[in-house]
């Protein structure tokens, strides 16, 4: 018999998004909807499970946790990259790590949802209308505005393409971006500082790494126009959170739309929950029915293949 734990299923939909009945009859699947932040609580919960399905980076698996799970044999992450899993430690401990495919567009779609919500005050107007008030704000249009895209990879280039469709001008920057790549999407390559100082909307589309952690701090926010907006759908720590809160409180920038945070779920007493010049969402970038069907469908395939002794979509340790 194999026991499977499915973690952080906030919406309670994991069992609906794939056909788990194809697994052998002696496989027991248990779904956990709540999130545990305490590593010791996670270890206690997962003792006795052979297989764990982790939703993205919601629950980290460092060496210290993996060492407390001697029965664990297969760890599945949705997506093929998960910075919160110590893959090297897993390999040393005999734990196979497998991934799933995903979809390349939902986060780009959400980015534009956040931009429109922020500039047209959609959440505020929705709330006011439900409360009996009528037209409480005056929003901003997109045409002829300057969009600054930090990171012009798969997601950033999709966001840039939509920006052009809205009639915006485009600036782009990242550490390795070339002028040719920028021009391919109608953008002009500039320095990071020039992008920040000229853009009306700055949107971040980078992978979190040692190079990008804290990339946008107090100095960088100070370069932005007081009328400018910041959008982050990548990873919270790319922007220094305290500096951002300070900039929003002081009016250094006009507002921010955020789908990612240093700590997730966002603590109940967090100041970002109280700032009126923000739109915040609970890391919804990849959270669509279509994505979840891929994630959970491939997770079932990963379990089947592992039990047959032929694991698929294996994420190998560095240097292996």
Catalytic residues: 235, 264, 283
For 47, the 3-state DSSP assignment is: coil
CB 99 within 8 A of CB 106: no
> Distance (Å, rounded) from C-alpha 243 to C-alpha 222?
10
> Distance (Å, rounded) from C-alpha 310 to C-alpha 39?
31
CB 296 within 8 A of CB 17: yes
> Distance (Å, rounded) from C-alpha 7 to C-alpha 255?
34
Burial class (CB within 10 angstroms; exposed 0-12, middle 13-18, buried 19+) of 30 = exposed
Q: Which residues contact 105 (CB under 8 A, 6 or more apart)?
A: 158
Instruction: Tell me the helix, strand and coil percentages in the chain, rounded to 5.
Output: 35, 15, 50
Q: Which residues contact 142 (CB under 8 A, 6 or more apart)?
A: 115, 116, 119, 163, 166, 167, 168
> Which residues on neighbouring strands pair with residue 187, listed in sequence order?
170
Residue 317 carries which DSSP code? P
CB 148 within 8 A of CB 172: yes
Structure tokens that stand for 32 in this block: 């956990």
CB 150 within 8 A of CB 204: yes
**Tokens 């926010």 map to which residue?**
221
Q: Which residues contact 90 (CB under 8 A, 6 or more apart)?
A: 61, 66, 75, 96, 97, 317
């Amino acid at each position: 018999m194999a026991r499977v734990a499915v973690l952080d299923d906030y919406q309670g939909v994991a069992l609906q998004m794939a056909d788990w009945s194809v697994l052998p009859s002696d496989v027991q699947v248990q779904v956990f909807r709540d999130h545990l932040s305490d590593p010791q609580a996670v270890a206690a919960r997962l003792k006795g499970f052979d297989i764990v399905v982790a939703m993205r980076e919601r629950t980290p698996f460092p060496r210290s946790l993996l060492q407390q799970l001697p029965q664990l044999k297969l760890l599945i992450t949705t997506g093929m990259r998960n910075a919160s899993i110590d893959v090297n430690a897993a390999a040393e401990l005999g734990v196979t790590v497998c991934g799933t495919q995903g979809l390349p567009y939902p986060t780009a779609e959400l980015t534009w949802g956040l931009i429109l919500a922020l500039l047209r005050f959609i959440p505020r107007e929705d709330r006011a209308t439900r409360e009996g008030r009528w037209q409480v704000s005056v929003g901003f249009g997109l045409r002829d505005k300057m969009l600054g895209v930090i990171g012009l990879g798969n997601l950033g280039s999709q966001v840039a393409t939509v920006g052009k469709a809205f009639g915006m001008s485009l600036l782009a920057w990242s550490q390795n971006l070339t002028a040719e790549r920028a021009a391919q999407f109608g953008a002009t390559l500039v320095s990071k500082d020039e992008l920040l100082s000229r853009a009306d909307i700055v949107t971040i589309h980078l992978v979190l790494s040692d190079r990008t952690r804290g990339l946008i701090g107090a100095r960088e926010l100070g370069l932005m126009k007081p009328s400018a907006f910041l959008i982050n759908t990548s990873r919270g720590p790319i922007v220094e959170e305290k500096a951002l809160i300070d900039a929003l409180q002081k009016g250094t920038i006009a507002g921010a739309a955020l789908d990612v945070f240093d700590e997730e779920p966002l603590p109940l007493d967090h100041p970002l929950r109280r700032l009126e010049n923000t739109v915040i969402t609970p890391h919804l970038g990849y959270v669509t029915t279509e994505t979840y069907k891929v994630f959970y469908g491939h997770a079932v395939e990963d379990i089947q293949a592992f039990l047959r002794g032929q694991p698929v979509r294996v994420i190998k340790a560095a240097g292996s």
